Structure 1
Amino acid sequence: MYKVLVTDGISHTGLKSLLDHPNFVVERQPTLPTEELKKVIGDYDALIVRSQTKVTEELLLSADKLRVIARAGVGVDNIEINAATRKGIIVINAPGANTMAATEHTLAMMLSLARKIPQAHQKTAAGEWDRSSFKGVELYKKTLGVIGMGKIGTEVAKRAKSFGMNILAFDPYLTEERAKKLGMTKASLDIIAHESDFITVHTPLTNDTRGLINEEYLSKTKKGVRIVNCARGGIIEEKALVKAIQSGHVAGAALDVFEKEPVANAELLQNPNIIVTPHLGASTVEAQEKVAEEVSAEIIEIFEKQSIQNAVNMPQMSGETQAKLQPYLLLGDQMGQLVIQLLNKQAPSNIEINYYGNLIEEDTELLTRTLLKGILSYHLSDSVNLINALHLLKEQGVSYNVVKHPTNKGFANYMELSVSNGQETAKIGATVLNGYGARILKINQYRIDVRPEKYLLYIKHRDVPGMIGKVGSLLGDHDINIGTMQVGRTEVGGEAIMVLTLDRTLSANVIKVLKLIDGLQEAQVLELATVDAARERR
């Protein structure tokens, strides 16, 4: 018998397959305090949560039996994925179950914003018949800017077209061909700002999208624009939005998600031109049933058949292969993250993976997926995992090729990752050295030897005397501590690179000052979301 604990409000109907299964015992404790959860979690084989329960590393220390954590929804930001992985716990989610609910809520918010429905209802219900204060605008022939063309953004755009709206769409992976097929126009963020009457956001919350809609961006928008966010709090800077609405530049906003939840920001809650709902995007009977059905079915599959479909973190390989490849899986994820940043954070159109040495004798399918996941995660965040990486590549129209070479490049194992967007190419080569760990050995055409760290400063410069000293002195002046520095060049006096490991990231101002150094051509901080846990603790 497998014991399953449900700690949040999950649809009873959706859990039916688990509740009726003879090999599972389901216990529901939706209001269990954290301290109580710590005391009892050790008795359970599986845990099902929504967004309320925080599955922390501390909680997982007590979860000795736990094999599966299921998030009845998409986002897994309330679950410590790395801690679960280290404990050997599979984390699953339900990535597509709430698409329609979020889509329809976005449209409801847009219509409410256009026609001031909540405000009119409130005043009418209070007994005041006021028609003159609530003159709205039509969606017909207006321009809608859709930022993020994943499943939800695409479905919103399709439905907005039925209102007769002109659609401008932005997504790093959106091609002209796909946009044309969908009957919309591929556009830059700036064009969306300048031309849109409505803007709706449908991106994950990443380093790039946090504060995407800020004071600078809002200043570029068309006067009278209306903005909708049913995606993730933090994509829109709330202070900047309130300021733009108070000035009259932005006509209004409809928000379902907030920087801090529950929201208590009086400037948002009391502004008559802002509509707010308490994170209801996925809150329909159908969506809640679907997410519960999906995770219930997968829990049964995992325990009964060892079959995994929507794992966020689970490497699928034999124990022997896992032991050999485990260091390369972490390195592969890091290589993917780094190479997309070296491509100036542009979406690739082509990816090439090359394996050398003993790696060609191993089943590298999972390693390939890990490299691809690292690339995609920069733009897609936790919506991409080892299971869906290949599907998402195909969906975004990105081609990839894997080549295995019998040569060893001077190392027992070596892998090289190259990405191209048709105009630029970025390349990283790396290996794992016995006793020394992961090493980045090549960046583009330059040979180096760098251990992956959370913050790397990549500098391209002319190979002239004094350059290293100038960079080191400038960073010291700004209280930036350097861990290591490596230099690579192809010829004396030509172009060269240096890669520095730093204790913390650099501000935009420091980068700007670095670029003023004579002979320094490029400076960029490369940041890794995944680093070796043991090294982090040191």
Structure 2
Amino acid sequence: MYKVLVTDGISHTGLVSLIEHPHFIVERQPTLPVAELKNIIGDYDALIVRSQTKVTVELLETAGRLRVIARAGVGVDNIDVNAATRKGIIVINAPGANTIAATEHTLAMMLSLARKIPQAHQKTAAGEWDRNSFKGVELYKKTLGVIGMGKIGTEVAKRAKSFGMNILGFDPYLTEERAKKLGFTKASLDLIAAESDFITIHTPLTNDTRGLVNDDYLRKTKKGVRFVNCARGGVIDEKALVRAIKSGHVAGAALDVFEKEPVADVELLQNPNIIVTPHLGASTIEAQEKVAQEVSAEIIEIFETQSIQNAVNMPQMSGETQAKLQPYLLLGDQMGQLVIQLLNKQAPAKIEINYYGDLIDEDTELLTRTLLKGVLSYHLSDSVNLINVLHLLKEQGVSYNVAKNATNKGFANYMELCVSNGLETARIGATVLNGYGARILKINQYRIDVKPEKYLLYIKHRDVPGMIGKVGSLLGDYGINIGTMQVGRTEVGGEAIMVLTLDKTMGADVIGELTLIDGLDEAHLLELTNVDTFEPGRVEPEFEIVESI
């Protein structure tokens, strides 16, 4: 018998298959205090939560029996996925169950915004018959800009077309062919700003999308534009939005998500041109039943057949395979994140993976998926995982190729990742050194030796005396400490690169100052969402260095 604990308000109907299954015992204890949860979690094989329960590393320390954590929803922000992965616990979610609910809520918010329905209701309910204050606008023949053309953004756009709206869609992975097939126009963010009467947000919250709609972007928008955000708080700079609405440039906004929740900002709550709802995008009876049904069905599959469909972390591996590949899995994810940033954060059209040395004898399917996930995660955030990454590649029209080569490239094991978008190409080569951990050994055509760190500064420059000193001096002026510095070049006096590990991040102003240095061609801050947890001595001897690269 497997014991399942449900700690949040999950639909009973959605849990029926699990409750009635002869091999499972389901116990429901909503709003359980953290201290009590820590005391009992060790008795359970699976845990089902929504957003209230915080699954922290401290909680997982006492969960010695736990094999599965299920989030009855899409995001997993309340679950420490890394801690769960380290303990071999599978984390699953229900990624597609709330698509219709979020789509319909977006359209409801857009219609409410266009016709001022909540404001009119409030005044009418208060006993005042006022028809003059609530003159709205029609959606017919208006232009809708959709920022983020994933499942929900696409479904919103399809339905908006039925209102006779013209659709402009932006997404790093949206191709002209797919847009044409759907009857939309592929557009840049600037074109959406210039021509849209309504703009709706459907993008994950990432480093690139945080504050995407800010003062600068709002100044580019068409006067009288209206914004809808039912995706993620933080994509819109709320202070900037309020300023633009007060100035009269933006006509209004409808927001279901906020930078901080529950929202308490009176400028948002009391502005007559802003409609707010308390994160209701997935709050339908049907959606709540579907997410519960999805996670219940998958929990049964995991325990009964070991089949995993919607894991957001690494699937289980044999102990022997895990011992060999674990450090490479972490490195592969890092390589993917870095290479897409080296491609100037552009979506790739083609991905190539090459394995060398003893890695060719291993089952590298999981490693391949990890590399690919690292590439896609920069734009798709936590919507991409090891299970759906190949599907998403196909969906986005990205081709990939994997090759295994018997040559060792100077190391017992070595892998290269190359991405291109048709115009530019970026390449990273790396390995794991016995006793030293992960090392990036090649960036584009340059040989280098860099340990992956959270903040890396990549600089391309001319190989002239004094360049390193100028860079170090400028960073010192800004109070930025350098951890390590590595240089690479192909010929004396030609083009060269330097890669620095930094103790903290830096702003665009510092990057701007760096590019003013004579002879310095490019400067990019590369950031990793995960850092190396490799333990020296953990890897078996077959990963040792064979000869200098």
For 1:523 and 1:372, how far apart are their aligned partners in 2? 25
1:522 counterpart = 2:522? yes
1:532 counterpart = 2:544? no
2:171 partner letter: D
User: What SS does the aligned partner of 1:281 have?
Assistant: coil
Equivalent pair of 2:333/2:373 in contact (CA under 8 Å): yes
For 1:314 and 1:331, how far apart are their aligned partners in 2? 14
2:68 partner letter: V
1:181 counterpart = 2:181? yes
Q: In the alignment, which residue of structure 1 is the partner of 2:10? A: 10
1:59 counterpart = 2:53? no
Q: In the alignment, which residue of structure 1 is the partner of 2:490? A: 490
Q: TM-score, normalised by structure 2?
A: 0.96
1:124 counterpart = 2:124? yes
Q: CA deviation at 1:315?
A: 3.1
Q: In the alignment, which residue of structure 2 is the partner of 1:447? A: 447
Equivalent pair of 2:242/2:267 in contact (CA under 8 Å): yes
Deviations 1:25-51 (A, max 9, x none): 111111112222222212211111111
Deviations 1:187-241 (A, max 9, x none): 0001101110000000111111111111111111100000000001111111111
1:73 partner letter: G
Q: CA deviation at 1:423?
A: 0.2
Deviations 1:277-331 (A, max 9, x none): 1100000011000000000000111111111111111234332222111111000
1:332 counterpart = 2:332? yes
1:421 partner letter: N
For 1:54 and 1:93, how far apart are their aligned partners in 2? 15
Deviations 1:307-359 (A, max 9, x none): 11111112343322221111110000000000000000000000000111111
Equivalent pair of 1:149/1:171 in contact (CA under 8 Å): yes
Equivalent pair of 1:8/1:29 in contact (CA under 8 Å): yes
Q: In the alignment, which residue of structure 2 is the partner of 1:75? A: 75
1:510 counterpart = 2:475? no
For 2:488 and 2:117, how far apart are their aligned partners in 1? 62
Equivalent pair of 1:450/1:499 in contact (CA under 8 Å): yes
For 2:256 and 2:165, how far apart are their aligned partners in 1? 22
For 1:480 and 1:127, how far apart are their aligned partners in 2? 61
Equivalent pair of 2:308/2:315 in contact (CA under 8 Å): no
For 2:243 and 2:475, how far apart are their aligned partners in 1? 36
Equivalent pair of 2:41/2:62 in contact (CA under 8 Å): yes
Q: In the alignment, which residue of structure 2 is the partner of 1:427? A: 427
Which residues in structure 2 correspond to 1:151-162 (within 5 Å)? 151-162=151-162
For 1:441 and 1:336, how far apart are their aligned partners in 2? 15
User: What SS does the aligned partner of 2:133 have?
Assistant: helix
User: What SS does the aligned partner of 1:479 have?
Assistant: coil
Deviations 1:245-266 (A, max 9, x none): 1111100000000111111111
Q: In the alignment, which residue of structure 2 is the partner of 1:47? A: 47
Deviations 1:140-198 (A, max 9, x none): 00000000000000000000001000000000000000000000100000110111000
Percentage identity across paired residues of the two chains: 87
Q: In the alignment, which residue of structure 2 is the partner of 1:464? A: 464
User: What SS does the aligned partner of 1:114 have?
Assistant: helix
For 2:523 and 2:314, how far apart are their aligned partners in 1? 36
User: What SS does the aligned partner of 1:15 have?
Assistant: helix
Q: In the alignment, which residue of structure 2 is the partner of 1:382? A: 382
User: What SS does the aligned partner of 1:504 have?
Assistant: coil
After the TM superposition, which of the residue ranges 335-344 and 313-322 deviates more from structure 2?
313-322
Long gaps (5+) in structure 2: 536-549
Equivalent pair of 1:209/1:235 in contact (CA under 8 Å): yes
2:356 partner letter: Y
1:500 counterpart = 2:500? yes
1:516 partner letter: L
Which residues in structure 2 correspond to 1:282-301 (within 5 Å)? 282-301=282-301
1:351 partner letter: I
Q: CA deviation at 1:388?
A: 0.3
For 1:336 and 1:143, how far apart are their aligned partners in 2? 36
Q: In the alignment, which residue of structure 2 is the partner of 1:348? A: 348
Q: In the alignment, which residue of structure 2 is the partner of 1:206? A: 206
After the TM superposition, which of the residue ranges 316-325 and 192-201 deviates more from structure 2?
316-325
Which residues in structure 2 correspond to 1:187-198 (within 5 Å)? 187-198=187-198
2:381 partner letter: S
1:23 counterpart = 2:23? yes
For 1:137 and 1:32, how far apart are their aligned partners in 2? 47
1:318 counterpart = 2:312? no
For 1:128 and 1:145, how far apart are their aligned partners in 2? 35
Q: CA deviation at 1:533?
A: 3.4
Which residues in structure 2 correspond to 1:98-117 (within 5 Å)? 98-117=98-117
1:511 partner letter: I
User: What SS does the aligned partner of 2:501 have?
Assistant: strand
For 1:59 and 1:244, how far apart are their aligned partners in 2? 44
Structure 1: 4+ residue segments shifted above 6 A? none
User: What SS does the aligned partner of 1:133 have?
Assistant: coil
2:383 partner letter: S
User: What SS does the aligned partner of 1:533 have?
Assistant: coil
Equivalent pair of 2:448/2:486 in contact (CA under 8 Å): yes
For 1:43 and 1:362, how far apart are their aligned partners in 2? 36
1:12 partner letter: H
Equivalent pair of 2:437/2:534 in contact (CA under 8 Å): no
User: What SS does the aligned partner of 2:199 have?
Assistant: strand
Which residues in structure 2 correspond to 1:161-172 (within 5 Å)? 161-172=161-172
Q: CA deviation at 1:463?
A: 0.3
For 1:191 and 1:11, how far apart are their aligned partners in 2? 43
1:304 counterpart = 2:304? yes
Equivalent pair of 1:198/1:226 in contact (CA under 8 Å): yes
Q: In the alignment, which residue of structure 2 is the partner of 1:133? A: 133
Q: In the alignment, which residue of structure 1 is the partner of 2:411? A: 411
For 1:94 and 1:283, how far apart are their aligned partners in 2? 14
For 1:37 and 1:90, how far apart are their aligned partners in 2? 19
User: What SS does the aligned partner of 2:211 have?
Assistant: coil
User: What SS does the aligned partner of 1:54 have?
Assistant: coil
Deviations 1:487-512 (A, max 9, x none): 00001110000000111111111111
2:358 partner letter: N
For 1:32 and 1:238, how far apart are their aligned partners in 2? 33
1:422 partner letter: G
Equivalent pair of 1:316/1:366 in contact (CA under 8 Å): no
Q: In the alignment, which residue of structure 1 is the partner of 2:272? A: 272
Q: In the alignment, which residue of structure 1 is the partner of 2:545? A: none
For 2:158 and 2:259, how far apart are their aligned partners in 1? 28
For 1:269 and 1:508, how far apart are their aligned partners in 2? 33
2:134 partner letter: F
Q: CA deviation at 1:52?
A: 1.4
Long gaps (5+) in structure 1: none
For 1:496 and 1:91, how far apart are their aligned partners in 2? 43
For 1:264 and 1:454, how far apart are their aligned partners in 2? 33
